[in-house]
Amino acid sequence: MTSGGNGVVWITGAGSGIGRALALRYLRAGAVVVGTARRGETLESLRAEAGRDGGRWHAMPADLTDLEATRAAVARIEAEIGPIRLAVLNAGTHIPTPGRSFQAGAVRQLLDANVMTVANALDAVLPVMLKRASGTVAINASLAGYRGLPLAAGYGASKAALINMAEALKLDLAPSGIDVRLISPGFVKTPLTDRNTFPMPFLMPVEVAVERLWTALERGSSFEIVFPRRFAWLMKLLQLLPYPLYFALVRRITRG
C-alpha cells in the first residue's frame, strides 16, 4: 500500500484526537482523505490546518450511530470522490463506569459510540470493497480491551468486542482480498485522555503515535498495530497471568 495510490482514505472520528492527526498525516503524504464525524465544523477547520494539502481534504459529517446515514455517507464518497481503499474506523468515546455507581445507560452509550459506529461503517463499506476484491479496514480498539481494568467495565467491554470482531473478520475476509487490521493504542495524549484524572503510564504524544500508526498501515503487514510498545507488552503479559496474580497486580498498580 502506498499513500499516493489510487483510492480514498476514509477516517471516522476525524474531528479530533488520533483521527484528526492521522488525517493530517495522510494529507501530508499526498492522499485524498475523507473525514467523518458528527460535527461538521470540526471537520471543516481541518482544511485550514492542513494548509496547502487542504485541497485533498473532504469533510463528510454523519452520525455513525445511524446505519442509514452511514450508508449514505459511504455512497456519496464512492460516487463523488472515489473508491475507498482504506477505511480507518476510529470513532468512539470514553465514559468511566465504576462498579460502585454502575449505570447501564453509560454502557449502552459506549457500545453505541464504540461498537455500533464500527459495525455500521463495516456494513456500509465492506460491500463496495468486496465488489472490487480489494481494500483495507483498520479497526481502532484499545489495549484496555485485553483484560478488565478499574473504572472501565463498559469501555473495556466495548474495546474487547472490537478486538474479537477484527479477529473474526480477518479470518472471514482474507480469502476475499480484504485486509483487516487491528489498532490497539495505549494512552495517547488527546482531548479524550485529557479528561482522565488518574496516572497514565507511557503516555504518548499524539504526533508520535500517529507517525507509528501511519507507518504500520502503509508499510507494515502485521495484523495488530500497537503503541506504545512497552505498555502493550505489559498488557500482553497481564493476559497470560492467572486471575489471582492478575487481580493482585492490577490492584497494586492502580492502588485499587
pLDDT band at 234 (very low <50, low <70, confident <90, very high): confident
Task: Say if pTM beats, i.e. exceeds, 0.85.
Answer: yes
Domains of the chain: 8-254 (3.40.50.720)
Supply the pLDDT for residue 19: 94
* Cα distances (Å, whole numbers) of residue 227 to 25, 202, 254: 17, 9, 20
* Cα distances (Å, whole numbers) of residue 116 to 14, 61, 92, 178: 17, 17, 10, 20
Supply the pLDDT for residue 253: 76
6 has pLDDT over 80: no
Q: What is the mean pLDDT of the chain?
A: 92
pLDDT band at 1 (very low <50, low <70, confident <90, very high): very low
Q: What percent of the chain has pLDDT over 70?
A: 92
- Residue pLDDT, tens place only, 159-205: 999 999 999 999 999 999 999 999 999 877 666 665 655 556 667 88
Are 142 and 101 in contact, with CB atoms under 8 Å apart? no
**Residue 65 in 3-state DSSP?**
coil
pLDDT band at 3 (very low <50, low <70, confident <90, very high): very low
* Cα distances (Å, whole numbers) of residue 198 to 45, 151, 195: 31, 11, 9
105 by Cβ neighbours in 10 Å (0-12 / 13-18 / 19+) ranks as exposed
The secondary structure of the chain in percent helix, strand, coil, rounded to multiples of 5, reads 55, 15, 25
Active site residues: 155
Q: CA-to-CA distance for 35 and 17, rounded, in angstroms?
A: 13
Q: What count of other Cβ atoms lies within 10 Å of the Cβ of residue 255?
A: 8
pLDDT band at 254 (very low <50, low <70, confident <90, very high): confident
Supply the pLDDT for residue 104: 98
Of 194 and 83, the structure prediction assigns the larger pLDDT to 83
9 has pLDDT over 90: yes
Cβ neighbours for 200, distance < 8 A, ≥ 6 positions apart = 187, 193
Half-sphere exposure of 174 (CA within 13 A, CB side): 7
